[in-house]
Chains A and B, each alone.
Chain A
Amino acid sequence: MKFGRAIFDLFSSVRFGIVLLVLLFIYMSIGSAGILYPVHPNIFHPDAWTHAQMRQWRPFEMTEFEWFHWWPFDLMIGLIALTLIVTTLRRIPLRVINLGVWTIHTGIIVLIVGSFIYFHAKVEGDAPVARRKIVLKLDGVEAPVELLAAPGSSAFIGSGANRMTVEVGEIDPAWTLRSGQDEGATAYSVNLIVTDPSKRFIRQLIANHPEYTEDLMFTNDPGQPMKRAVKETGTPILEPRLTATLDYESQGYFYLRNDLAKSWALYVRPLGATQWVMRPIDGLPLYNDRISSRSEVFEVGGTPLVPIDPLSVSIPATAPNDPCPDVIFTANGYLRYAQTKSRLVGGGSNAPFNPSATINVKSAEGAKANYQLIALDPERSTGDEGLIRMVAVSSEAEFEKLLRRAEVKIVIPAAGIDIVEAVRIPQEDAKVDAEKPFIPIGDPQLGYGFRVLAAQDDLPVADRKASVLIVDIKTPDSTIRRWVFDDATLTRDVPANGGAHAGPIAPDPAVQFEYRPGGGRALLTLAAGPSPDQLRLVASFGESAGKSQPVTVDQPMTLPAGLTIEVSSYQPRSVIDTRPMIVPLEQQIRDAREMFAQILLSIPGGESRWMEFSMYAFDDFRFALRRHPFHPMQVKLADGREMELLFSRQRLPLDTEVALEEFVLTSHEGGYTGQAGTIRDYTSILRFRDSDQWGAPTQVSVNSPIEHNGLWYFQAQWDPPEPPSSQNDRGSRGLNYTVLGVGNREGVWIQLAGCIIAVLGMIYAFYVKPILIRRRSERARLAAEIRIGHSNEVVTP
């Protein structure tokens, strides 16, 4: 009883309330700004102090949101609420004079209740919505093929001679319609580059205007590289068997924000399936690296950057439709910011033949270049855009073949010509030069000549490989464009400047060409094999062109034109060691968030592999959005089943599909120039799919969200234009997708009511109460004066 009384007293003590407020202040300051602590005994030295976010330390691993939802905080708020209630009821009599305090305290309690509801129901995330996808259908092919309308995205449809490769070329987010009823209006236009074994053309699709779909043909005129097919052939569609349409690429999920509360997830699907099944990962850290052995990672300069701190988080199946509910994966490592790096190391004598070499080349002018080439890795077997190359040969015959140059055999019966000419293969991406000079065939007086426009060796055609040379052939009376194959039956003439017919025709027998592809040697070719220690160099220039010379490691070799080449290391049986490299703090990009995180995933009964973080669980690479990492990984389970895994964030269904009709960027004076200061607003025009029907378009822009089925949608990120980032990248004119913020906000009206009640109380307590008190004391004074009869005034209360 006595104890109960003491507790009751405690909760009705203002002093206790003050102590709680002071604790609240300290707790909030530490969680938000962090702490400063000395790291050196001389505390007056400016460098003696260091700053740390305590909540991010290993034992805590908390985001701001988590720190402010931890039980000590909840307890503190609970105690404050209790003290407030008990003290108000017990110590503050409910009188007119005290109405202010009562109201303030009521407001605070209401706010606490509202916040409790709000924060406990809170979900917040983001949903990327792309503008359109392309649906491809080909006569005779059952299943349509889909791909995202994003620059560079590509797919193929059909097989054999019917196989068409479709690549998304330029996308113009605001294409001006040039004809028809909508002349002058702008629309989203997508150009597809369609290639089949016999031709290449562009199909232009315009969103919401399928009637304007048309094909464009390539021409040889640099002034007008493309022509509308309708002008040339009378029909807008060159290839009626292929239909391509633009369709909404709707989004049905939103991904939880990891920086609000950790929400890691592993996604699983059988290899070949499209639907991902989510497994939440609970207990994975966010801020601190966790490794159990130094050999798991690379560290810069070999200096340890992180302590050994093992991790073991099991990731069991939670969804009923999990493809392997019996398999429990484990996360045995975590890196917050790492990049996957591969290093070549020498394998043992049992390792397979996989030659690699480090080569230093020095020019006469002193320019130096260093290459690390791996013969069997197509990505890393060449350097300097193919000028230097490393190959592995398995036999002497193969090596001989390598020495062979590319040639073309030309027979012109009318002129009595039967010769073999060496051809120089132009660079793959070299521009087709209409002014390129013709090489005379035989006596120049005869008027025959040819020039090589392009070459492609080992092109997959139907079920085999073919090599092709595209040449222009000049005869005394005309010029012929010919695709010369190594298999003469495939060789065709293509009317160079349009002409009356479209499409290839059988070659003119008056001039016969036969292509003999070369061995694929580069300017400098390093050949390893057939015996593992054998390394030879073939240079394609100077006097020794086409001859080989043996290479000794660390011995410089002088080549024509003052070139010096030195192989500094050669590994015939190299093994690639791939590990994440921990990026030192000073080299990390700020605001990268979890973009470069990795986990070490253990597959039961199998291996452990590092997995890179993916921002979203896209269906496929064809649907991955620009700038958003997507790294699915294929694994084999112990029982042989093949699975695909993805390390990402948890997602929740949106209840309703959402599609992006249009994305509009508005700008200030002078238009958008690439500078952030010129942007006025971002607007996503959305459509929601309710009861199987797309609803009317609604706008979401900055500061103006919309609500749909209890969720709020905000404008969060956009897709800015970007120049090409690499040789293989097309660049983008942007505006191909939007990222919406999605969240709920239950209890905000209670929170708001609490704030308003409290402020009314403050005004009463600060500005009404003093007036009441003054009046009262005035009245008391007057009453006293009246009582002693000093006043003759008439008093009105």
Chain B
Amino acid sequence: MNINSKTHMMSKLIAMFLALTTFCMIDANAQSFQEQVDLSPFDSVAVQTEGRLKSFGSFAHGEMGFVSGPRKINGQTPEFTFLDMLFRPEAYADADVIYVKAAIVRKPIADALVKAEPSLAARMDGFIKTGLISEALLQRSEVEPVMQQMQSDLLRTAKAMDSIRGARTVMRPEFLLRELRIVPSPGDQKDQQWSSMRDIMLLAADPGALKAAGATATPIAGIDETKQRECAAAWKSLVEGWTNGDAIVVNKSLVNIAAILPSMNSDAYPDASRLRWESWYFSNGNLVWIWLVYAVSVVLLLIGLVYHWRGARVAGIAVFIVAFMLHSCALGLRWWISSRWPNSNMFEAVTTSAWFGGCAAVILEIFLRRRAAAGMFALASGFASAVALMAAHFLPIQLNAQISNMMPVLHDVWLYIHTNVIIFSYCLIFMAAVSAGIYLVYRVFGGKAVYARVGVSSVGAIVGGSVGGTPGASALRGEKLGEVLDGVTMLLMKLSFVLLWTGIAMGAIWADHSWGRPWGWDPKEVFALNTFVVFAILVHVRYRSKDKGLWTAILAVVGAAVMLFNWIVINFIITGLHSYA
């Protein structure tokens, strides 16, 4: 039920069906508490973490991500799980909530446990499949030597052990409480650390009990003391309500806390609507589900292309435009929330790159709407965006959507110039490979060896309509389809050729003043240049060869493969492989 992977789609559906029918029978109480608790007041609570002010929602997503990775615990929202883990840690001690990402470390742990206690076999099968294990199992003495052994292998398993240790640390209620820095610092000094609830909660404690425990409660200087006391009292009733399973008390306390916190220093407190949107953005999966809309447009456009069906094509373009608008909203929202243009981590690079492709497609579709190539750019871009957002959806660890501060080296105007030009060119390269791929399919199915003629322009086939034929569907028949595809590939290839060259040169300018050298033969640089070399080969081969369309298509696909190699293999594998890299 908490499996979130496309390969398990079917079992997920079945599990969901079963869950619907069984939940109310077995766990009515627990379920109802979770349902009755209304965490929405906390959507506008800000948490200071790692040098940023985040909404509670995005903070809880981040922290729970350290524990259970991409998995959801009991179908709960991360916000609920965060507070539940804080107030009722015992409920999670032996629950399989720790996600072990590295598959190679799962088996040794499972083997050690099964050896010690054969009855765990079934549970361990589940662990090997889902990667979820409990704190109590990891604590067992049989696991310890296995984990220690794996910790000492710095090359293969130490990182996985570090992340398990990280998950166990985060799960501890003292850690969760300490990190819950929701009490704003007094004054307007931005580099003052916010306080955790831990720092004021004792203000609501019974003085006698406090004395008996040898503790003291001192309010934070600079903040209205009555507010601190009110907040501590509300927190106390929240804790009591939560542990008693009393949703009414909990909801009231949540409202109170959410109201008091901003009033402690309203000048320094972030805008409530921004915080609410941030929570919304994270609880809606960063809107990467838009890939589905793109996928629909791709299907419609392909139907339109293959069956020369104008209706499907028009519908496809319409759906594409809807998807692009949603995508733009997601991007704009992220821009507003993070107060910077989204291009500084892998998630942002991939989704923004796809968005640039969408922009190019929309502009080209408008200019060439009466030409034979109408719909082709939407198709290529829709495909690129669907793939990009799908990657963000299904690889949430590699493409981490958390908003964090940029490294100091990224704070430069060239980040915005260089990175965007490069990722724009990468998307165009991918789009060119889409049309080149369709061209190759066309040739496999017996299409003629045609190409778009220069002079009638690189956009020859596209403006084909104006040269003689009638615009629209008729132009897509027979030889024209090959010409159109080749023309689209060439148009996109030329754009990306110029942009890639410019982007590389701009990167060199940035590297020159940032790292002290314009070019350092770093693998990322080399493979960006390699991509360009492939396109240089393409241009010259096209000039020399007889079957221009075929070679163009093949090399466009090769170029895209090199680009993807740079983005995926170099980024995730090569640079991390050699310490001298």
> Taking beta carbons and an 8 Å cutoff, which residues of A are in contact with B?
14-15, 17-18, 21-22, 24-25, 28-29, 31-34, 51, 53, 56, 63-65, 67-68, 115, 118, 122, 124, 259-260, 286-287, 585-593, 667-671, 673, 675-682, 701-705, 712, 714, 741-743, 745, 748, 751-752, 755-756, 758-759, 762-763, 766-767, 770-771, 773-774, 777
20 inter-chain pairs at a CB distance below 8 angstroms, sorted by A residue, are: A14-B543, A33-B523, A33-B527, A68-B521, A124-B517, A286-B580, A591-B579, A669-B53, A669-B190, A670-B190, A680-B408, A703-B408, A703-B411, A705-B516, A755-B501, A756-B505, A759-B502, A762-B501, A766-B458, A770-B457
Inter-chain contact B579/A590, CB cutoff 8 Å: yes
Q: Binary interface profile of B, 526-564, with partner A (CB < 8 Å = 1, else 0)?
A: 110110011011001101100000000000000000000
In chain B, positions 167-186 with a C-beta closer than 8 Å to chain A are: 181, 185
B418 CB → nearest A CB, Å: 12
A751 cross-chain contacts in B, Cβ below 8 A: 508, 518
| Known contacts A588-B154, A591-B579, A759-B502; is-contact A31 B526 (Cβ 8 Å) | yes
| Known contacts A748-B512, A770-B457; is-contact A32 B156 (Cβ 8 Å) | no
Given A64-B520, A678-B51, 18 new contacts (CB under 8 A) = A18-B544, A25-B530, A25-B533, A25-B537, A32-B530, A33-B574, A56-B580, A124-B516, A260-B520, A586-B154, A586-B155, A670-B185, A670-B190, A673-B51, A703-B411, A766-B458, A770-B457, A774-B455
Inter-chain contact B455/A586, CB cutoff 8 Å: no
Q: Which of A14, A115, A287 makes the CB contact (< 8 A) with B540?
A: A14
B536 cross-chain contacts in A, Cβ below 8 A: 21
Inter-chain contact A712/B580, CB cutoff 8 Å: no
In chain B, positions 490-535 with a C-beta closer than 8 Å to chain A are: 494, 497-498, 501-502, 505, 508-509, 512-523, 526-527, 529-530, 533-534
Inter-chain contact A585/B498, CB cutoff 8 Å: no
B154 cross-chain contacts in A, Cβ below 8 A: 586-590
For residue B193, CB closer than 8 A to chain A, the reply is: yes
In chain B, positions 440-477 with a C-beta closer than 8 Å to chain A are: 454-459
| Known contacts A32-B523, A682-B408; is-contact A712 B51 (Cβ 8 Å) | no
For residue B215, CB closer than 8 A to chain A, the reply is: no
A761 CB → nearest B CB, Å: 10
Inter-chain contact B408/A743, CB cutoff 8 Å: no
Q: Which of B53, B411, B494 makes the CB contact (< 8 A) with A680?
A: B411
Inter-chain contact A64/B521, CB cutoff 8 Å: yes
Inter-chain contact A766/B526, CB cutoff 8 Å: no
B581 CB → nearest A CB, Å: 8
| Known contacts A18-B537, A668-B51; is-contact A677 B405 (Cβ 8 Å) | yes
Q: Binary interface profile of B, 124-145, with partner A (CB < 8 Å = 1, else 0)?
A: 0000000000000000000000
Inter-chain contact A668/B527, CB cutoff 8 Å: no
Report the Cα distance A774→B580, complex, angstroms: 53
Residue in A32, A63, A669 with the greatest tally of chain B CB atoms within 10 Å: A669
| Known contacts A591-B579, A759-B505, A770-B455; is-contact A670 B517 (Cβ 8 Å) | no
Inter-chain contact B409/A703, CB cutoff 8 Å: yes
For residue B35, CB closer than 8 A to chain A, the reply is: no
Inter-chain contact A681/B408, CB cutoff 8 Å: yes
Inter-chain contact A667/B51, CB cutoff 8 Å: yes
For residue B578, CB closer than 8 A to chain A, the reply is: yes
Inter-chain contact A593/B457, CB cutoff 8 Å: no
A398 CB → nearest B CB, Å: 44
Inter-chain contact A587/B51, CB cutoff 8 Å: no
Inter-chain contact B515/A741, CB cutoff 8 Å: yes
Inter-chain contact B509/A702, CB cutoff 8 Å: no
Inter-chain contact B544/A15, CB cutoff 8 Å: yes
Report the Cα distance A592→B581, complex, angstroms: 12
A226 CB → nearest B CB, Å: 26
Inter-chain contact A712/B505, CB cutoff 8 Å: no
Inter-chain contact B501/A592, CB cutoff 8 Å: no
A259 cross-chain contacts in B, Cβ below 8 A: 580
A668 cross-chain contacts in B, Cβ below 8 A: 51-52, 405
For residue B27, CB closer than 8 A to chain A, the reply is: no
B191 cross-chain contacts in A, Cβ below 8 A: 667, 669-671
B522 cross-chain contacts in A, Cβ below 8 A: 64
Report the Cα distance A497→B466, complex, angstroms: 103
The tally of CB-CB contacts under 8 A between chains A and B is 198
For residue B224, CB closer than 8 A to chain A, the reply is: no
Report the Cα distance A589→B156, complex, angstroms: 12
Inter-chain contact A32/B521, CB cutoff 8 Å: yes
Inter-chain contact B194/A21, CB cutoff 8 Å: no
B513 cross-chain contacts in A, Cβ below 8 A: 703-705
Inter-chain contact B541/A18, CB cutoff 8 Å: yes
| Known contacts A586-B153, A669-B191, A770-B457; is-contact A743 B405 (Cβ 8 Å) | no
Inter-chain contact A587/B455, CB cutoff 8 Å: no
A756 cross-chain contacts in B, Cβ below 8 A: 505
Inter-chain contact B51/A755, CB cutoff 8 Å: no
B578 cross-chain contacts in A, Cβ below 8 A: 53, 56
A22 cross-chain contacts in B, Cβ below 8 A: 537
A774 cross-chain contacts in B, Cβ below 8 A: 455-457
B216 CB → nearest A CB, Å: 17
Q: Binary interface profile of B, 72-92, with partner A (CB < 8 Å = 1, else 0)?
A: 000000000000000000000
| Known contacts A587-B154, A670-B51, A670-B194; is-contact A748 B407 (Cβ 8 Å) | no
Q: Which of A51, A65, A678, A766 makes the CB contact (< 8 A) with B520?
A: A65
A789 CB → nearest B CB, Å: 22
Q: Which of A28, A670, A680 makes the CB contact (< 8 A) with B48?
A: A670
| Known contacts A680-B411, A703-B513, A777-B455; is-contact A65 B404 (Cβ 8 Å) | no
Report the Cα distance A675→B405, complex, angstroms: 11
B155 cross-chain contacts in A, Cβ below 8 A: 585-588
For residue B50, CB closer than 8 A to chain A, the reply is: yes
Report the Cα distance A587→B158, complex, angstroms: 9
B486 CB → nearest A CB, Å: 15
B579 cross-chain contacts in A, Cβ below 8 A: 588, 590-593
B569 cross-chain contacts in A, Cβ below 8 A: 33
Report the Cα distance A668→B189, complex, angstroms: 11
For residue B577, CB closer than 8 A to chain A, the reply is: yes
B123 CB → nearest A CB, Å: 28
Q: Which of B194, B412, B458, B509 makes the CB contact (< 8 A) with A752?
A: B509
A742 cross-chain contacts in B, Cβ below 8 A: 516
A231 CB → nearest B CB, Å: 28
A700 CB → nearest B CB, Å: 11
Inter-chain contact B192/A741, CB cutoff 8 Å: no
Report the Cα distance A680→B523, complex, angstroms: 27
B48 CB → nearest A CB, Å: 5
B577 CB → nearest A CB, Å: 7
Inter-chain contact B512/A745, CB cutoff 8 Å: yes
Inter-chain contact A762/B498, CB cutoff 8 Å: yes
Report the Cα distance A286→B580, complex, angstroms: 10
A702 cross-chain contacts in B, Cβ below 8 A: 408-409, 411, 514
For residue B11, CB closer than 8 A to chain A, the reply is: no
A759 cross-chain contacts in B, Cβ below 8 A: 498, 501-502, 505
Report the Cα distance A743→B518, complex, angstroms: 11
B458 CB → nearest A CB, Å: 6
B346 cross-chain contacts in A, Cβ below 8 A: none
For residue B570, CB closer than 8 A to chain A, the reply is: yes
A753 CB → nearest B CB, Å: 11
Inter-chain contact B459/A770, CB cutoff 8 Å: yes
Residue of A nearest to B455 (CB): A773
Report the Cα distance A51→B581, complex, angstroms: 14
Inter-chain contact B408/A679, CB cutoff 8 Å: yes
For residue B31, CB closer than 8 A to chain A, the reply is: no
| Known contacts A668-B51, A755-B505; is-contact A21 B537 (Cβ 8 Å) | yes
Report the Cα distance A755→B10, complex, angstroms: 54
Report the Cα distance A682→B520, complex, angstroms: 23
Inter-chain contact B494/A34, CB cutoff 8 Å: no
B521 cross-chain contacts in A, Cβ below 8 A: 31-32, 64-65, 67-68
Report the Cα distance A766→B428, complex, angstroms: 16
Inter-chain contact A28/B529, CB cutoff 8 Å: yes
Report the Cα distance A569→B157, complex, angstroms: 36
Inter-chain contact B494/A766, CB cutoff 8 Å: yes
